[in-house]
Structure 1
């Protein structure tokens, strides 16, 4: 009886501890390698602000990678020069602009970092990989997915409703756009010194869109070991 009371007491204490974990730390039930609430900045346009509070000149790049993000990045690098490091927090956005911004970062030879509590997803990956020196702090997240041109289901349904000819045209456009982006992504990784296996082994293995069934995941949070294996981080 004493043993049973002791066991029940331990179980109660454990339950209290689990319930005390912040909701933000909960695992995403759809994407189990990631937290339910990644810490990316949600500004609708990427903001570039200088932070010199820690003694270094850090450019914070935060928010959605919109069509004008690369242009504003170039302006910020000139305005705030010298910039010692770029810290990223973004849910992604325009993939082609992400590649362009990453090339700007590499040309400027500025290290990139994902600080603790921040997340870098989708197109943000390419800004990050632009850094000649790349690091992810403990508590920072590098999150990948499969690029897609089919996320707009409403558009697809409209085109399909027009008949087989319109559907074939749409599929042709999607295939062509996907091939172009895949080629650009491969070229980018080669130039940045990141293993192309990051694409074949991880990114391209994810579902493009959430589907029905047991596995509905579309995001993958890389582990520390994976970040090193694919040379995503090199510091």
Structure 2
């Protein structure tokens, strides 16, 4: 079930009520999702572990570069993520690359934000962890294009409008199918799509920030974004 008030309360406690985005009250006003440039992959030693720092915008080269980086250093056991998103297909493929390395842990450190296509990279981990203060920010997709595109189609006539609507529906259906398949393969609840990521909403503002939602720790466990660890024995 979609529980915005619980998530808002949890987010306020985590980030501080004065620092929340007024348009997206579950999210911080200034998310730290890394540099606005192609994602860098930097091996580093943190707390006695060998980790790969993945920071920046996701592009089509990432799946190949990610595989090469992991294969180049067999000591890497964790991948730390912060990203504003980027190429959705590349994010999906990068998640599959990570899953091909058994036992690999993906992590969102405190203060870091993993948004949109980055979500699918994160969910590729065999093991997944979001630190207290780490932000798993999802893009709440809508079935509308920007207002300018729609207005232009209407201006061109009924045929152009019908064609645009058909393209939107086809693209949305394909993306939903791909995302659904990915979540099944990664062991994440498909309700993450229906409850949040593809939840129908009316977006009156032209600001992209209107479409963001940040999962609480409880929601991350509920949807198995972060698997609940079972006691041994």
TM-score bracket relative to the smaller structure? 0.7 to 0.9
Tell me the C-alpha RMSD between the 2 structures. 2.4
Query: In 2, distance between residues paired with 1:205 and 1:100?
Result: 24
Of residues 147, 171, 191, the one that matches 1:197 is 191
Task: State whether residues 24 and 37 of structure 1, in contact with CA within 8 Å, keep that contact through their aligned partners in structure 2.
Answer: no
| Structure 2 unaligned regions, length at least 5 | 1-14
SS of 2:21's equivalent in the other structure is coil
Q: Deviations over 1:46-81 (max 9, x none)?
A: 111111243211011111111222122122122233
- Once residues 55 and 136 of structure 1 are traced to their aligned partners in structure 2, the CA distance between those partners, rounded to angstroms, is 19
Which residue of the other structure, out of 152, 158, 162, is the alignment partner of 1:158? 152
The structure 1 residue matched to 2:50, chosen from 51, 54, 57, is 57
Which residue pairs with 1:30 in the alignment?
23
> For residue 69 of structure 1, what is the aligned residue in structure 2?
62
User: How many residues are aligned here?
Assistant: 211
Structure whose residues are more often strand by fraction: 2
Change (3 A) 1:156 1:130: same
Unaligned runs of 5+ in 1: 1-21
> CA 1:149–1:114 in structure 2 vs 1: closer, same or farther (change >3 Å)?
same
Question: What pairs up with 1:1-235 in 2 under 5 angstroms?
Answer: 26-109=19-102, 110-147=104-141, 150-205=144-199, 207=201, 210-212=203-205, 217-234=210-227, 235=229
CA distance in 2, matches of 1:46, 1:168: 38
Counterpart position of 1:3: none
**Offset at 1:147?**
3.1
